[in-house]
Structure 1
């Protein structure tokens, strides 16, 4: 390919990516400023300074943009989960680290305000984009499932089911706190950690008895 064409394509990609990031950043800014999980395309465009054509060049619908934002949020949360679990020793400690890392989404006023729009949009997006949202959910529960297999010898299918149930419980607590606009306090964090640990480890004990 001629170098001139390569340079032109590279500039086009850079403009395309920069435009995409402007739309995503604008959506986040509007969602936080308006405290809403469902901002209008018009408000997003006004914040970004881009055109309607630019918006639909990247996203077929507004909710496709939200899915992209939620997927990125899942990726950030996953990195935090993995870092916390890697710094912990023993199955019980790693389960606790996993729970606490998820609950960090609503740990204080700042994080709750930042994450509230995404938490409240989650049920609606799950209904409209079940495959994409479920994949992100499964990715967040995967570190816990892997630890149950490696640390406790749980069968992979059982571990995945246990981790998914734990994720639904802990994430549900986050959504409740976001809806109430109440950061989670230490007492509730400890209670959720204790409940989840008992549920996961208790299920493992029941599996061992049946075997």
Structure 2
């Protein structure tokens, strides 16, 4: 059973996650979070001294949850090359769930990545973690070696990032599916 403090933290973070993603960090006020989480102002400030502290916690928790789901999705696939393609399928699924709203980390970076070095540091950690995950899958894939492991890792990572942004613009999975198809030819 969760401690009362953790229940409050989860309510705050759940509310912040929804609001930061759907309407943006800058457009979300502390009072709106307090109202929608149905908590006392003192409760929010007990756990998060500033809005930026809340943003950093949101990025950390979102990353932990996002990455856990990614790992679970990829580990279900047995073929090492298809694990690389499963990354694209996972991103398609996440974008469909989020109605092609884009990457939550890029959104935060666009709004607050330069306001506080802790925010940018957390986003960089998340993106680096993602790239390292891809790198491990590439190393284990037995790909055609038309590209080095480093080149293929960078190609997959960059294509995926660009495809997610493009999918959010066109509100379609097609860019991510196209990137997957191209990578399939390289592996």
TM over 0.5: same fold?
yes
Aligned to 2:161: 171
SS state at 2:82 partner: helix
1:179-210 deviations in Å (ceiling 9; x for gaps): x371x23x4333110234456x4xxxxxxxxx
Change over 3 Å in CA distance of 1:84–1:133 after alignment to 2: same
Q: How much does 1:44 deviate?
A: 0.5
Give the whole-Å Cα distance in 1 for the aligned partners of 2:55 and 2:37: 15
Q: Which consecutive aligned stretches of 4+ in structure 1 deviate over 4 angstroms post-superposition?
A: 158-162
TM-score normalised by structure 1 residue count: 0.66
Aligned to 2:92: 103
1:85-127 deviations in Å (ceiling 9; x for gaps): 22324343121111221232212xx4327x6583522433444
User: Contact 1:125 / 1:133 at 8 angstroms: preserved in 2?
Assistant: no
User: Contact 1:41 / 1:62 at 8 angstroms: preserved in 2?
Assistant: yes
Aligned to 1:75: 64
Aligned to 2:42: 53
Q: Which one scores higher on RCO, CA 8 angstroms, separation ≥ 6?
A: 2
Question: Cα RMSD (Å) of the superposition?
Answer: 3.2
TM-score normalised by structure 2 residue count: 0.73
Structure whose residues are more often helix by fraction? 1
The structure that has the greater radius of gyration is: 1
In the comparison of the two structures, how many residue pairs are matched?
177
